[in-house]
Amino acid sequence: MAGVGNRQTVYLSVGSNLGDKLDNCVKGIAALVAGGECELLAVSRFYRTSPVDYTDQDWFVNAAVKVATRLEPSDLLKKLQTIQSQMGRKSNGIRFGPRTLDLDILLYDEQVIRIPDLEIPHPRMHKRVFVLQPICDINPAIIHPVLGKTVADLLKQLDAQDQQVVPMRSQPELPQGGTP
């Protein structure tokens, strides 16, 4: 695990399919960096994406962010869950169902972590275009620490004709360590 004072590079997925989806994502990113515990290093393009797994719901807006943090993985997870709750995310009982804001830890440096309630790398990231395409926008050469392949290679190998990922025409202004 990360030692005190060591900054870790972390990739997160950001998504929403309820309310003002793009605004929810931007506000979630702003909340992430507002306390100074996470520094925003890069943001992908934002995409409109078709739902996966539970498909009887509205399309999502998704992006990926790269941050530097000194937070331990479990503390970062708690921070993300707090932000999601503050943004109105409810536990609706539908796995992969609609949500105001979804923040997932995808990669935490090259670490492989399996503890209760947290698995890194994200256990389904290699199966999801809406995760891999935004990460490729930031850095297509990132190596998945379990699969040993770049995210670009994982994206190329994915046969996901049912997963639509469409770049949004307008991209929002994003926070640089504070509110947007």
The structure's pTM equals: 0.88
pLDDT at 180: 35
For the record, the structure tokens of 84 come out as 């999601």
pLDDT at 147: 97
Q: What is the mean pLDDT of residues 162-174?
A: 82
| Per-residue pLDDT tens digits for 132-154 | 999 999 999 999 999 999 999 99
pLDDT at 119: 95
| Alpha-carbon gap, residue 126 to 151, rounded angstroms | 8
Integer CA distances (angstroms), 171 to 24, 25, 100, in order: 14, 12, 19
| Per-residue pLDDT tens digits for 34-88 | 989 999 999 999 999 887 766 667 888 999 999 999 999 999 999 999 999 888 7
Longest dimension (CA), the chain: 44
Does the pLDDT at position 95 exceed 90?
no
| Alpha-carbon gap, residue 152 to 11, rounded angstroms | 15
Segment (H or E) for 166: strand 165-167
Q: Domain ranges in the chain?
A: 8-167
At 108, is the secondary structure helix, strand, or coil?
strand
Domain covering 8-167, topology: Alpha-Beta Plaits (3.30.70)
Banded model confidence at residue 25, pLDDT cuts 50, 70, 90? very high
* Enzyme catalytic residues: 89, 99, 102, 104
Q: Between residues 109 and 53, which one has the greater pLDDT?
A: 109
Handedness of CA 135, 136, 138, 142 (dihedral sign): positive
